[in-house]
Amino acid sequence: MATIKEIKNQLEDLTTLSDPAWAGFEADSRAGVQTAIRQRKKAIQADWDEDLRLENMLRYEKDLYEQGFNQIAGIDEVGRGPLAGPVVAACVILPKYCKIKGLNDSKKIPKSKHEAIYEQVMKEALAVGVGVQSNDVIDCVNIYEATKLAMIEAVGKLKKKPDYLL
């Protein structure tokens, strides 16, 4: 009889909830095996849900790809809430149909995952641009207009990664 650790390793090979191999594992009555089965099924479901979420996010890009566009830039800002400091916008072009697990509006990403997602975005990105508008600009034109200026600057600073980094 396989150890629970061995079964956990075997469960990692299962990637769908419909795999017939589940039946063999579910026949094992050991509590540790049943816990491992629940955990693996939960992880598979979470991966499935994340893939669906990312597919939904790509719906606009897919429409544009079908219209003949080959590169689509995404843009987001940070720093609109603070009482002081600049507003920063980043503009990124990712490869067609690129899915980065956990990618979302920065305010919806747990702080603990920011760095890993940033690293993945930078690894996948075809081009990146960053725009910054100071607190003085914000005071002159208001936060909304300063954000738009930062976004325009970010688009203008889009730089393609060298081919050897792609």
Domains of the chain: 4-57 (no CATH), 68-165 (3.30.420.10)
Interior CA angle at 51 toward 49 and 54, to 5°? Answer: 110
| pTM for the predicted model, two decimal places | 0.79
Contacts of 49 (CB under 8 A, 6+ apart): none
Q: Which residue has the higher pLDDT, 8 or 163?
A: 8
Rg of the Cα atoms in the chain:
22
Half-sphere exposure of residue 22: CA atoms within 13 angstroms, side-chain side: 13
Give 162 or 25, the one with higher predicted confidence.
25
pLDDT in tens, 66-112: 999 999 999 999 877 667 789 999 999 999 999 999 998 878 888 89
Question: What is the percentage of the chain residues whose pLDDT exceeds 90?
Answer: 84
- Taking the mean position of all CA atoms in its chain, how far away is CA 127? 16
- Round to the nearest angstrom and report the end-to-end CA distance of the chain: 47
Identify the pLDDT of residue 162.
65
Q: With 70 as the cut, is the pLDDT of residue 163 above it?
A: no
Q: Model confidence at 35, in pLDDT bands (50, 70, 90)?
A: very high
- How does residue 53 score in pLDDT terms, banded at 50, 70 and 90? very high
Task: Summarize pLDDT for 106-137 with one digit per residue, the tens.
Answer: 788 888 999 999 999 999 999 999 999 999 99
